[in-house]
Amino acid sequence: MVTSNDQINDARRKINEIINKEESRIVVGWRPTDIDRKEGDVWEEAGRKWTVKNGIKQSVTKLDDAKTPWWCPQCSKPLNHRIDVKFWGIRGKCMECVTAEETELKRLGLYKEYEESKVKANYIATLKDKLQELEHLRDTVSAPEIVHADEEKILMIEKWNVDVNKLRADIQEDIDKLYAALAEVDV
């Protein structure tokens, strides 16, 4: 028969086995150092980019600039109306902020200058877009070919005889005129 002392000794032996088993393990741990991140900091961690916005750690994606924020960055009003979203895409703030800003400019008598600067900036952007388009066309222009085919075979290839060098020269002339107009406006 097992006495109570034997039971106690047996329990102690089992506890010591467990404790000694735990002590024989090598336990390795890592505690991340708390790096104090400030507003606007950008860092890479675990293969992703992170930043701090409004005191919150957020991941940075390639489409962050294309995303519409939930609130106007100037007045914190929700951007839940289609007009507000459109104004944010153009001006970076809601319609009410743009209206208030333009009203203040009218009150101060500065609206004409503001309007002219906006029209000038739009004209310059249009010229630059057209220049880019024409330069791409100049670099890629070739003699046109039209391929007539049905589902099974090519029936006919129609080749047009066009002076590609003359066409490139005409395009370059238009490019030069646009650069002159851009230099005249950009003064």
pLDDT tens digits for 105-153?
999 999 999 999 999 999 999 999 999 999 999 999 888 888 888 888 8
Average pLDDT, the chain: 86
pLDDT over 90 for what percent of the chain?
Answer: 41
Judge whether residue 34 has pLDDT over 90. no
Which CB contacts under 8 angstroms, 24+ apart, belong to 133-142?
Answer: 134/171, 134/174, 134/175, 134/178, 135/175, 137/171, 138/168, 138/171, 138/172, 138/175, 141/167, 141/168, 141/171
